[in-house]
Homo-oligomer: A and B are copies of this chain.
């Protein structure tokens, strides 16, 4: 079981959905990723918090396979984000983003972390993602997330870091924007030409499309149909945590391992949306994950005669 180095944001999220509100709950890309991945392997987290991130907040990491040596604490407040979701949860409006402690974030990778065989670069500035890669030693796999902000305003930096990324995990709208093509098959080909040999396209309630490592085709995973979706916040980072965590646990980078990773990621994300913020992940058990993997098999299996 290979350890994962995970770099990203740790935040206080305030969330409003049609089903209720949650104020100042612990969130952030590194948080969701690390909690999800820690079901599979050891995670070495790098991020930054302010003085307001106290013992209560630290409890979300307690008793998990999450190494916190890389979690820096600086003066001032922690990164804060507030968002509000529309009726169908597919649209989201950002009410505010206060970078706070995150504003001057310069990822410092502890010496013990530098030989991590798997690296996850959460959605932060591409130049910071590159800084992380400059500090690590020959990882077997680099996975990364990004967003429309960097595609539009830091494209050259993003393209430079993409040449060093093995697996890019992004939304369908981001894939179309990054590639400049509305068709996802064509978009995927263009993005692969930028560097990442594997592209994982998240489509929310419609599941995930992954380019297959063996033959250039696609692997498609549906989202689990759920009768209650409470809060999509963090679902993408939770997916990434299950995905990279499963790869780390398998120790293999085969076609079969990548397919299984996509389903583990989808399974973790399907739990995450069932309650506000991290709540559902914090009570989740490995037995529940295994049961949902079996349900994913029932959801998708067919035989051709």
Interface set of A (CB-CB < 8 Å, partner B): 87-88, 182-186, 203, 206-207, 209, 212, 215, 217-222, 225-229, 250, 256, 259-260, 262-263, 293-305
Oligomeric state, in number of copies? 2
A260 touches B220 (CB 8 A): no
Bound together, the chains give a CA A222 to CA B218 distance in angstroms of: 11
B contact residues around A207 at 8 Å (CB): 206, 220, 222
B260 touches A185 (CB 8 A): no
B222 touches A220 (CB 8 A): yes
Closest 7 CB pairs of A and B: A220-B222, A206-B206, A185-B227, A259-B302, A293-B304, A218-B225, A185-B225
The CB with the most chain B CB atoms within 10 A, among A88, A203, A206, is that of: A206
Bound together, the chains give a CA A262 to CA B218 distance in angstroms of: 19
B contact residues around A302 at 8 Å (CB): 219, 221, 256, 259-260, 262-263, 297, 300
> Within the complex, what minimum Cβ distance (angstroms) separates A211 from chain B?
10
Query: Chain B: which residue is nearest A214 at the CB level?
Result: B298
B294 touches A220 (CB 8 A): no
B contact residues around A296 at 8 Å (CB): 304
B contact residues around A229 at 8 Å (CB): 183
